[in-house]
Chains A and B, each alone.
Chain A
Amino acid sequence: MPKRDKPLVLLEEFRVKNAPEDYGMADKKWNFKKFVKGFSIDIKRMENSEMEFDLIGIQPAFANAFRRLMLSEVPSMAIEKVMIKNNTSIIQDEVLAHRLGLIPLKADPRLFEYRPEDATEGTEFDTLEFTLKVKCTANTAQSKDSYRTEDLYINHSVYSSQIKWHPIGNQASVYKEADVGSVHDNILISKMRPGHELDLHLVAVKGIGKDHAKFSPVATASYRLLPEIKLTREVSGSQATLLQSCFSPGVIGLGPDGKAFVRDARYDTCSRNVYRYDEIKDAVILSRVRDHFIFNVESVGAMSPNIIFVEAVKILKDKCKSLLDELNKF
């Protein structure tokens, strides 16, 4: 990658300040060619439900738009309606319904449609239906010696794994149960005692995080700017170890001559604790690169994080398109 002229934001002791003669990227004239040349995406880490990638050379407005879209506009499926046929447990109907709503579902929202606002009945294209039918009874088979609740009662805890999917229409042929149910099997829904009973009918629909946090496909999606640390003078000896301790492990390295050098500033937490020590305060300039966004997307489980990001980009594209369409009408 060619060396870029990095726009910096300086982390001073008491405030965050833009680098001198940097008037913010909003002032710069947008040049598509230049943007394409400078822009890159670099995936650093990709796990099942978590992803870290860099967005380099982009305006903060864009990066932020993606973050916001992932949080609030990328759809997902969640339980929206709970028909309570029987609930004799101690947990209140509304609270129970609220808890059920927050259970993440595996169903891929891209395969579903939004349910029309005026619809009273769900269809196979926009609705998933589940039931939860649990009854707690005393465990007569157990010996009397044990006082553990597990031994005394059957079904004393209701877990998300006990939610059963009921396909409607031809859903049974399209999806497998494992594709639509709860992401986690061990989410505790309620605790019960003999005589308590739950008989619920659950309806999951597609929705967006703006409406309710349960529809957000991410646990969180956020970014941070790439930290950059510059040493202004030579630091060695005890000062070097002190300097090292002021940053996250691995950020400052010590050379064989006992001199400190910046090894990798990327994973510094920017705690700025170096400013507490007058003797080394002057040795460093802390800053962050203003157009280097380190994204961290944690999926809730329905979609992998890379797909969520792509979905967010698509939504932005759609939005731009509809805006252009509207503008072009006149």
Chain B
Amino acid sequence: MGEIAPEWDKGHREPVKTLEDKWKLVPSFLQVKGLVKQHIDSFNYFINVEIKKIVQANEKVFCDSDPLFYVKYLNAYVGTPDLEEGFNVTKPTTPHECRLRDMTYSAPITVDIEYIRGNQRVIKNKQLIGRMPLMLRSSNCVLTNKSDKELAHLNECPHDPGGYFIIRGQEKVILIQEQLSRNRMIVDEFKGAIQCQVTSSTHEKKTRTIVILKNSKYVLRHNALSDDIPITVAFKAMGICSDQEIMQLVGTDDATVKKMAPCIVDCHNLKIFTQNQALAYVGSKLKVKRFPTANSKSRTPIDEARDLLATTILAHVTVENFNFYVKAIYLAIMVKRVIEAETNKAAIDDPDYYGNKRLELAGSLLALMFEDLFKRFNWELKSIADKIIPKVKAAPFDVVKHMRPDLIANGLFTAISSGNWTIKRFKMERHGVTQVLSRLSYISALGMMTRVNSQFEKTRKVSGPRSLQPSQWGMLCPSDTPEGEACGLVKNLALMTHITTECSEIPISRLACNAGVEDVRLLGGEEINHPAVYMVFLNGNILGVSRQYKKLIRVFRMFRRRGLISAFVSIYPNHNQRTVYICSDGGRLCRPYIIVEKGHPLVQQHHINELNRGIRKFQDFLNDGLIEYLDVNEENDSHIATVESEIDPYVTTHLEIEPFTILGVCAGLVPYPHHNQSPRNTYQCAMGKQAMGTIGYNQKNRIDTLMYNLVYPQCPMVKTRTIELTNFDKLPAGQNATVAVMSYSGYDIEDALILNKASIDRGYGRCLVYKSAKTTMKRYSNQTSDRILGPSRDVATGKVIRAHEILDTDGIASPGEMVENRQVLINKQMPPATINPVTQGQPQQVEYKDVPITYKGPVESYVEKVMVSSNSEDAFLIKILLRQTRIPEIGDKFSSRHGQKGVTGLIVQQEDMPFNDRGICPDMIMNPHGFPSRMTVGKTIELLAGKAGLMEGKFHYGTAFGGSKVLDVCKELEKHGYNYHGKDIFYSGLTGEPLEAYIYSGPVYYQKLKHMVQDKMHARARGPRAVLTRQPTEGRSRDGGLRLGEMERDCLIGYGASMLLMERLMLASDAFSADICGTCGRLAARAWCHACRSSAAVSTVEMPYACKLLFQELASMNIVPKLTLKKYC
């Protein structure tokens, strides 16, 4: 067979030619979309479209006291970023200014309003109602569409991705939040019972409706109902009163009828036959409202139940004029799904399936927050109007004067800076939505922008949501997830993933109707459930039924490829459910694919050539219908070939653009990841974020609290396409070290590395650590303020005291000075906090308190620069940037790009290092035992390719699923006189004789990680103790003791070293001589027992102070601990 098949193949189809340089579509895609375009797109949509919709939805504010009064919002705008400098004075600002001055990068939100003043209608334009924090590089940001040179003038790095906010000087990212999609039926098993649940979400409400099998009867369950309602009752309450109609909606086949029979009987038993009876039944099951309003009292339970059915149960299915027909069909489908799932387990939905997930981005989260704040703002306006209008006043009530912009501004600012998302109307409370942008390295910042946070609890030990779902293919990076508790819950987007923003439903439903979708309201149950008919859903709502679903799908896809409807609308059938789903909602994951028709990709070589020549852009490919976006669901309805050779003319519909794009930004740094054991790539993803290097071109202008830079960062010898796409080669974090894989000295066990001292002397691994100190000069209400004094002098010698040696005459450390431990950086003083009203005229003589900003640390630093400015409260802001240069030492952590970390075990003189024929000494020696169990074959290939690249003077590529081939690399080595396998003869530097083994050696890209001994080393003999317990303090920062813990204690007990135990646990900790009264057994004070009024039997006992403290604390709670004393020896 195997031999015949190609023959057969040849006759019937010619092989599909491989497209050269197809990968160039990826940079072209990223040029338009960028790496963080999801954030920016979503935010742009919010500030340009959604905010207007929100304002329109809440456009009118009325007032109870004056029926004529109203405020109407006509339009809303978000302006350009500025700073408020005093009252009504603003000044345009830049992100970097905000970072340095601890300001918020925000823009005013203005509205056009129409309102009643006195009895006049007034229109006021550009009324400020709040401030919107601006996302960097969003449409209103000053950085958008700026050239590199202009960006440099704004002190901004051209490679900075943007997509984050600056709140009070801090860079904050709103993480992408993953959640189950709303308004979709999900069938799952809950405690053994099959249920179908829908989480409906509209602008006003968010409710969950469940249809569940209970005691072999189907019931409707909802939070607003105190009890489950039989499904038949629910149908009757919706006006489907005859049992026949109900059965027609649910289905009339025997199995269904059998299953539904108990429900129908149930309904008869309850004696419910009419809609009113049913509504009354539902009304009786309503949850009792705790605070009945005046309005609700007058209404009957029937009205309440009708309202509830219309607006709360399945809220997303809109009901007009109490015509429940569509909602009844929807409910019937839910019942049908449950019935189907009972017999067919495959019909149970997988909640981890990515098609059922939606990602919430900054824009939609901010929209929720803004709407909540805006509603509160309006409510406050209303209550002010209620209060003031009845009062007779000289001037007519002007609502504009009561619009305070700080409510919305502060609400948004605190939400972003604290990460607490509290939405009152949804009773939503979420924590940790935002995080401080990690600026450890460029990659860590970029990695944070692509991070996806799951709503699942981290503590729960569930495997389902954590494991890699096949539907994540190409959308989420399979490697990049943290280890430990958040494993699999925190994910990262793949390189080409795009997250959709909402687009309008109206043109889509119109198109669907033109393509043969029939309105369901005109059809009976029998027609709807007809086997030849497919039901069509649009964003979870019933649109209608179609007899020719294939045509419908074809028409939609054609329209989309022609660009007549949004490229992000997806359509896909579900044959089991006999439905067609159309989606246009936001938050779906999608990615571009090349369209394949009749076995040939539509993208031809000449298109790629045009791309190379720059006359074709990614958008043109979309416009010409050569490439289209597929979301997860539609991807599962397609047949996608990874490479051209896999195309099958009869089934293939799409072709992958480049396979390496299934990886994300962090995993993209790994060369040859497809040769590594998969956890190694995951480890590297975590470690790449800790690597030191370059943060951005503006790193010298930043004053961060902590910043690590490499002195001589290098671009890796073995690059990947992703490295180029993410600009890692321009902002690298590591150095190419010549590594010899061999054993040396025994100081290299357990992954320890041997470093060459000469390499270190020449600058290898040298890094700069920047820390900043800052203070503000506050002004207090009692007219006093903080002050800074110049250096103090010793009275006797007249010299400046040591602590103040580095201070300038203005009391602030001067740039270039060396700062040692406990030296003062800013000699600040604070007035006493006593509330002292101002005495007339004369300057007060108050005792100022010293609150100096001092430097702490065993190793000295240098003052790099000093910034004096003012912050948003108009107080002086002083920031000092301190610098340390660190040379690698024993214990510093290094890592290659393959999850192989190690600490420096020994630093060896160059002459002791082995050398090869060409006189090359390695910079680093790595123990070969690191390889067999880790199986990081990629690292060995990186070494080989790097070595060949050095000889050839070029960079090799280690791109995932591609890159330079080992065979070619080895041939290149051979060409330059090296051993084909990369193993060379080395001579021992110690004996001078050749080593017995050939040594595998060459350059490997090594990252210096932020963990350095200098920040960790700690020892203590004597030191501070805690005040309360008199035990040694804890932790390095407090010069704490080293704990002899429980398990260590157990060892000593087991060994029987009682005196050692005594010494460790008491004498070296909190030994205390307590006076104990022998007669009453209580603690005595100063050899005098207060209870016995005697000192006769008082003796001194050594005990831990904590023990004595316990006795006293117990005594204070009326428990008397008593000690019985005995003669000891």
User: Distance in Å from the Cβ of B610 to the closest Cβ of chain A?
Assistant: 31
A98/B763 contact (C-beta < 8 A), A16-B998, A271-B974, A276-B980 known: yes
Interchain CB contact (< 8 A) of B994 among A16, A213, A214: A16
Tell me the complex Cα distance, A63–B992, Å.
Answer: 7
Interchain CB contact (< 8 A) of B992 among A15, A67, A93, A213: A67
* A273 at interface by CB-CB < 8 Å: yes
Contact A95 B885 (CB under 8 A): yes
* A248 at interface by CB-CB < 8 Å: yes
Contact B919 A296 (CB under 8 A): yes
* A302 at interface by CB-CB < 8 Å: no
Contact B998 A220 (CB under 8 A): no
Contact with A along B691-735 (1 / 0, CB 8 A): 000000000100000000001000000000000000000000000
Interchain CB contact (< 8 A) of A212 among B761, B912, B995, B998: B761
Please indicate the chain A residues that have their CB under 8 angstroms from the CB of B910 in the complex: 71-72, 209, 213, 216
* B1072 at interface by CB-CB < 8 Å: no
Please indicate the chain A residues that have their CB under 8 angstroms from the CB of B473 in the complex: none
Q: Size range of the interface on B? A: 35 or more
Within 8 A of A (CB), among B133-172: none
* A60 at interface by CB-CB < 8 Å: yes
Contact B919 A64 (CB under 8 A): no
* A224 at interface by CB-CB < 8 Å: yes
Contact A216 B980 (CB under 8 A): no
Residue of B nearest to A220 (CB): B919
Please indicate the chain A residues that have their CB under 8 angstroms from the CB of B700 in the complex: 90
Please indicate the chain A residues that have their CB under 8 angstroms from the CB of B978 in the complex: 269, 271
Contact A16 B991 (CB under 8 A): no
Contact A222 B919 (CB under 8 A): yes
Please indicate the chain A residues that have their CB under 8 angstroms from the CB of B1075 in the complex: none
Contact with A along B979-1002 (1 / 0, CB 8 A): 110000101011111111110000
User: Distance in Å from the Cβ of A92 to the closest Cβ of chain B?
Assistant: 6
* A9 at interface by CB-CB < 8 Å: yes
A269/B917 contact (C-beta < 8 A), A71-B911, A94-B862, A212-B761 known: yes
* B758 at interface by CB-CB < 8 Å: yes
Please indicate the chain B residues that have their CB under 8 angstroms from the CB of A276 in the complex: 980
Contact B762 A102 (CB under 8 A): yes
* A280 at interface by CB-CB < 8 Å: no
Contact B991 A84 (CB under 8 A): no
Interchain CB contact (< 8 A) of B985 among A61, A64, A270: A270
Tell me the complex Cα distance, A10–B969, Å.
Answer: 27
Tell me the complex Cα distance, A298–B762, Å.
Answer: 17
Tell me the complex Cα distance, A34–B713, Å.
Answer: 54
Please indicate the chain A residues that have their CB under 8 angstroms from the CB of B991 in the complex: 60-61, 64
Within 8 A of B (CB), among A238-253: 248
Residue of B nearest to A288 (CB): B994
* B563 at interface by CB-CB < 8 Å: no
User: Distance in Å from the Cβ of A49 to the closest Cβ of chain B?
Assistant: 14
Interchain CB contact (< 8 A) of B997 among A9, A15, A61, A223: A15
Tell me the complex Cα distance, A296–B916, Å.
Answer: 12
* A152 at interface by CB-CB < 8 Å: no
Contact B998 A213 (CB under 8 A): no
Residue of B nearest to A87 (CB): B816
Contact A68 B758 (CB under 8 A): no
Interchain CB contact (< 8 A) of A213 among B758, B766, B997: B758
Tell me the complex Cα distance, A100–B911, Å.
Answer: 24
* A300 at interface by CB-CB < 8 Å: no
Tell me the complex Cα distance, A269–B758, Å.
Answer: 26
Tell me the complex Cα distance, A212–B757, Å.
Answer: 8
User: Distance in Å from the Cβ of A61 to the closest Cβ of chain B?
Assistant: 6
Please indicate the chain A residues that have their CB under 8 angstroms from the CB of B883 in the complex: 92
Within 8 A of A (CB), among B977-1030: 977-980, 985, 987, 989-998
Interchain CB contact (< 8 A) of B996 among A17, A67, A296: A17
Tell me the complex Cα distance, A129–B1116, Å.
Answer: 75
* A202 at interface by CB-CB < 8 Å: no
Contact B885 A214 (CB under 8 A): no
* B340 at interface by CB-CB < 8 Å: no
* A11 at interface by CB-CB < 8 Å: yes
Please indicate the chain A residues that have their CB under 8 angstroms from the CB of B768 in the complex: 92, 95
A11/B885 contact (C-beta < 8 A), A16-B995, A94-B862 known: no
Residue of B nearest to A69 (CB): B911
Please indicate the chain A residues that have their CB under 8 angstroms from the CB of B989 in the complex: 64, 68
* B909 at interface by CB-CB < 8 Å: yes
* B46 at interface by CB-CB < 8 Å: no
Please indicate the chain B residues that have their CB under 8 angstroms from the CB of A17 in the complex: 996
* B864 at interface by CB-CB < 8 Å: yes
Contact B909 A72 (CB under 8 A): yes
Please indicate the chain A residues that have their CB under 8 angstroms from the CB of B374 in the complex: none
A16/B909 contact (C-beta < 8 A), A63-B992, A92-B885 known: no
Within 8 A of B (CB), among A220-260: 220-225, 248
Interchain CB contact (< 8 A) of B766 among A14, A84, A98, A210: A98
User: Distance in Å from the Cβ of A270 to the closest Cβ of chain B?
Assistant: 6
Contact A213 B761 (CB under 8 A): yes
Interchain CB contact (< 8 A) of A225 among B766, B918, B980, B994: B994
Contact A9 B994 (CB under 8 A): yes
User: Distance in Å from the Cβ of B907 to the closest Cβ of chain A?
Assistant: 12
* B915 at interface by CB-CB < 8 Å: yes
Residue of B nearest to A63 (CB): B992
* A272 at interface by CB-CB < 8 Å: yes
Within 8 A of A (CB), among B724-769: 757-758, 761-763, 766, 768
Residue of A nearest to B994 (CB): A16
Contact with B along A47-75 (1 / 0, CB 8 A): 00000000000001101110110011000
Please indicate the chain A residues that have their CB under 8 angstroms from the CB of B917 in the complex: 224, 269-270
Tell me the complex Cα distance, A92–B885, Å.
Answer: 9
Contact A94 B985 (CB under 8 A): no
Please indicate the chain A residues that have their CB under 8 angstroms from the CB of B980 in the complex: 271, 273, 276
Please indicate the chain A residues that have their CB under 8 angstroms from the CB of B911 in the complex: 67-68, 71-72, 209
User: Distance in Å from the Cβ of B948 to the closest Cβ of chain A?
Assistant: 13
Residue of A nearest to B815 (CB): A88
Contact A93 B862 (CB under 8 A): yes
Please indicate the chain A residues that have their CB under 8 angstroms from the CB of B990 in the complex: 64
Tell me the complex Cα distance, A24–B994, Å.
Answer: 12
Contact A61 B977 (CB under 8 A): no
Contact B979 A16 (CB under 8 A): no
Contact A210 B909 (CB under 8 A): yes
Please indicate the chain A residues that have their CB under 8 angstroms from the CB of B885 in the complex: 92, 94-95
Tell me the complex Cα distance, A88–B33, Å.
Answer: 40
Contact B996 A272 (CB under 8 A): no
User: Distance in Å from the Cβ of A100 to the closest Cβ of chain B?
Assistant: 12
Interface centre among A72, A87, A213, A290 (most CB of B within 10 A): A213
Contact B915 A222 (CB under 8 A): yes
Contact B816 A84 (CB under 8 A): yes
Residue of B nearest to A84 (CB): B816
Contact with B along A260-276 (1 / 0, CB 8 A): 00000000011111001
Within 8 A of A (CB), among B1016-1072: none
Contact with B along A28-39 (1 / 0, CB 8 A): 000000000000
Contact A214 B761 (CB under 8 A): yes
Tell me the complex Cα distance, A290–B995, Å.
Answer: 12
User: Distance in Å from the Cβ of A304 to the closest Cβ of chain B?
Assistant: 18
Please indicate the chain B residues that have their CB under 8 angstroms from the CB of A68 in the complex: 911-912, 989
Residue of B nearest to A297 (CB): B919
User: Distance in Å from the Cβ of B817 to the closest Cβ of chain A?
Assistant: 11
Tell me the complex Cα distance, A265–B991, Å.
Answer: 25
Tell me the complex Cα distance, A188–B913, Å.
Answer: 29
Contact A221 B762 (CB under 8 A): no
Tell me the complex Cα distance, A67–B990, Å.
Answer: 11
Contact A269 B909 (CB under 8 A): no
Known: A92-B864, A224-B987. 12 other contacts (CB 8 A): A11-B985, A15-B998, A17-B996, A24-B993, A60-B993, A98-B711, A209-B758, A209-B910, A216-B910, A220-B920, A223-B987, A225-B994
A-B contact pairs, 8 of them (CB 8 A): A17-B996, A24-B993, A95-B711, A98-B763, A102-B763, A209-B910, A216-B910, A224-B917
A-B residue pairs, 3 tightest by C-beta: A64-B992, A222-B919, A213-B761
